[in-house]
Amino acid sequence: LINVQADEQPRGLSCLLYPHWQGENATNEEILRSLEHVRPGNGYKPNFPVFEKCEVNGKDAHPLFTFLKEALPFPHDDPSALMTNPQYIIWSPVRRNDISWNFEKFLIAPDGVPFKRYSRHFETIKIQDDIELLLQKVPKEALQ
């Protein structure tokens, strides 16, 4: 994600990181410190916005994620992806289109239309082909 953002930002790509409380126990500050010191570490500071934790599933899901999950009900690379252990389901109601774990990714087209959803197992670098496909459609004058 770090390299993709750095490479494609001049062409109009924006990466946004939304940690969620349903998969991340750390505080907002701890998340930033873990990025800096643990993974990826080496003093890393994100080159994209990192939002405060929010709920992505259940009755209090953030409206952005309700919208994204309705538009893209399951990851294209793993359409049967579900929570592997029901003891980790800590929200209600549970829906088939719920985000099953950390690191699910959504790619949104430049016109704001959700394009593709990727499971936590999908390697982020492989999203680059889809990003390229979408960025080719952006008129050059729109980037100036």
Residue type, 20: H
- Rounded to a whole number of angstroms, the distance between the first and last alpha carbons of the chain is 24
| Cβ-count burial 55-76 (b if 16+ within 10 Å, e if not) | ebbeeebbeebeebbeebebbe
Token pair in block for residue 113: 């239309």
pLDDT per residue as tens, the chain (144 positions) = 778 888 888 888 899 989 886 666 788 889 889 888 988 889 988 888 999 989 999 999 999 999 999 999 999 999 887 777 778 788 999 999 999 888 899 999 999 999 999 999 999 889 999 999 999 987 777 666
> What is the residue-wise DSSP string for 38-101?
TSS-TT---SS-BPPPB--SSTT--HHHHHHHHHS-S-TT-TT---SSGGG--SSS--TT---S
Write down all domains in the chain, each with its CATH number in brackets: 2-143 (3.40.30.10)
